[in-house]
Every structure is written in C-alpha cells, then in structure tokens.
Amino acid sequence: MQGKVLVNFGKEVLIQTQNNEKLTGFNNKKKPCVAGDNILYRVERDKAIITDRLERNSYFQHRDKTIIANLDVLILVVAINPHYEFDLINRYLIAANKYNLELRIIVNKIDLVKDFEQLFMDFITYENIGYSVDYLSQFSEDKLQIFLNSLKNKSYIFIGQSGVGKSTIINTLMPDLKLETQTLSKNNLGKHTTTITKLYPINQGFLVDSPGIREFNLENFSHQEILDGFIEFKKFKDKCKFRNCFHIDEKECGVKQAVEDGMINLKRYHSYLNLLEM
C-alpha cells in the first residue's frame, strides 16, 4: 500500500493513507523517511511498517540534514513591521535556488505602509527577475483565499522572521490547526510536536510546519551556491574575462558592468557582496 509521511519522530512515523486516514507506524532503517516522503507500507497489528521510500521530487536540508521531502513552494513572508531586510530575503532566494524550489514572496501588513511608491519600487526588483510577489494585510482575507487556491495540490511552507504574521496567515487558512495539532499529539507519540516538521493536509495539498527552517543563515552554503542564487547575474557571466569570476574585484567583469549600466539592481549586488562575507 502507498502513503505519505506526515510526521517523522525518528523510529516512529505518522502517515496518511490513500484513503486519507492517519496511521502510526515504524520508519524504514535502510531508507529513513522524513515528513513529505511518499512510501510503501504494510500493516501489522494496526501499525504501519514502511517497506520502501519512493523517489523524491525534491528535498530541503537544514544544517546538512534532510527535514522535508517533496516540497514544492517556499512562501517567504516579510512585513512592514518588523521591516523587511533585503539580505534576509536574498538568503531565502539562494536556498530556494539551491534546492530547485519555487519561491513566492508575501509582503504582509501593508495597511501600515506610509510610502506605497517606495514599497513597490523595492519589490518590483524581485518581480522583474521572475519572483511572484503578493501584498496582503489583516483586512485582505479574500486575497489570501485566492492565494491559497493558487497552491492547490502543492506542498508548501511559510517562512520568514518572527513577527511578520506567518501564524496569522496560517490560522486564517486553517482555523482548525490547533485541533489538527492536538490530533497529531494524540496519535503519537506526542511530546515533540512543537519542534519537528509536520504536514497538514489542506486544499488537496499539504501545509508544512517546520520550526527548523522558519529562519536560517547561509553557514553551509558555498560561494558558488550564493552566486547561483542571484539568478539575474547569469546572463552577464559570459561577458566576464575570467570563467571563474565571482564578480567582486576582478577586471573586465560583465556583472559589475551590468550593475554600472543599471541592468542589475545595485541593492541586490551589494547584498550579494554582504552575504559572501557572512
């Protein structure tokens, strides 16, 4: 039989069956499973025994440890208060690029904006290089529902720094989330549900909750991975004199020339330099 791992507790797991029922069981020792893994299992004495882990479409790691499988979208929530930071936004874009995940940006609490023109100028940079940006406030529940409908059949996670409104958005999408959390605690195994990665079925997809990746730094990212995350640099790389150019202080650099010509946003370039030094 086939199912999906909703929660991985180590040796034990909580899975969802193809009939949308919840079943506790035991992980596979040879191919350990994480939340999001699609699996094959058999049932013995009312417990699921995972017999195989199916091929992953994607995965996400934190501190070199895979914590989510088959994730589709990272939804980065930033806000007017606490005010968004470009380096933080760019960190998540780098991570999304590394793991080949779609990243969408929500600018939250726009009811607090005093300068809309500056706000849109700040984020048009991301839209121009291909990222989706949505503007929300506590009064835009209809807009949030439209946003949710666009995520049908996908697995996604809301990420971002504390205080930007992730929990408010999640509670609006899933008013019964507390009940779901209580259900997980009862099914389990229950004492670590606030610190582990969990999947909640929603709208024919899954909302992922993972405290480990709500906020993170780039300590395990190489210079090349950071560079690759600035996707707009790529089309200017062939104009660099040196093939291994990192666009810092090299001569005849196509990327630096593009910055001078206004083809690459200056704030993004400065953020790139800052992140290389972190």
Phi-psi group of 146: left, alpha or beta (phi > 0 → left; psi -120 to 50 → alpha; rest → beta)? alpha
206 and 232 fall within a common domain: no
Q: Do 149 and 237 belong together in one domain?
A: no
Alpha-carbon 234 to chain mean position: 23
36 and 161 part of one domain = no
Largest CA distance in the chain: 69
Same domain, 21 and 37: yes
Instruction: List Cα–Cα distances, 195 to 7, 91, 178, 191, 212, in angstroms.
Output: 11, 22, 15, 9, 8
Bridge pairing between strands 38-44 and 47-53 = antiparallel
Task: List Cα–Cα distances, 137 to 77, 113, 165, in angstroms.
Answer: 12, 10, 9
Closest CA to 110 of 91, 132, 83, 137: 137
Least confident of 113-122, 145-154, 241-250: 145-154
- Chosen domain end from 12, 34, 53: 53
d(CA 53, CA 57): 12
Task: Looking at the structure, tell me whether residues 245 and 155 fall in a common domain.
Answer: no
The reply to whether 80 and 34 lie within a common domain is no
Which of these three, 20, 37, 53, is where a domain ends?
Answer: 53
Helix/strand/coil (H, E, C) string of 172-198?
HHCCCHHHHHHHHHHHCCCCCCCCCCE
CATH number, domain of 270, equals 1.10.40.50
Angle separating helix axes 266-277 and 86-98, nearest 10 degrees: 70
pLDDT of residue 224: 95
CATH number for the domain harbouring residue 14: 2.40.50.140
| 219-257 per-position pLDDT tens digit | 678 999 999 999 999 999 999 999 999 999 999 999 999
Same domain, 38 and 90: no
Residue range of the domain that includes 141: 59-184+191-215
* Domains identified in the chain, total number: 3
Label residue 192 by pLDDT band (50, 70, 90). Answer: very low
Residues 75 and 48 in one domain: no
Higher pLDDT, 97 or 180: 97
Q: What percent of the chain has pLDDT over 90?
A: 67
Are 198 and 254 members of one domain?
no
Let me know whether 195 and 81 are in one domain. Answer: yes
Same domain, 7 and 69: no
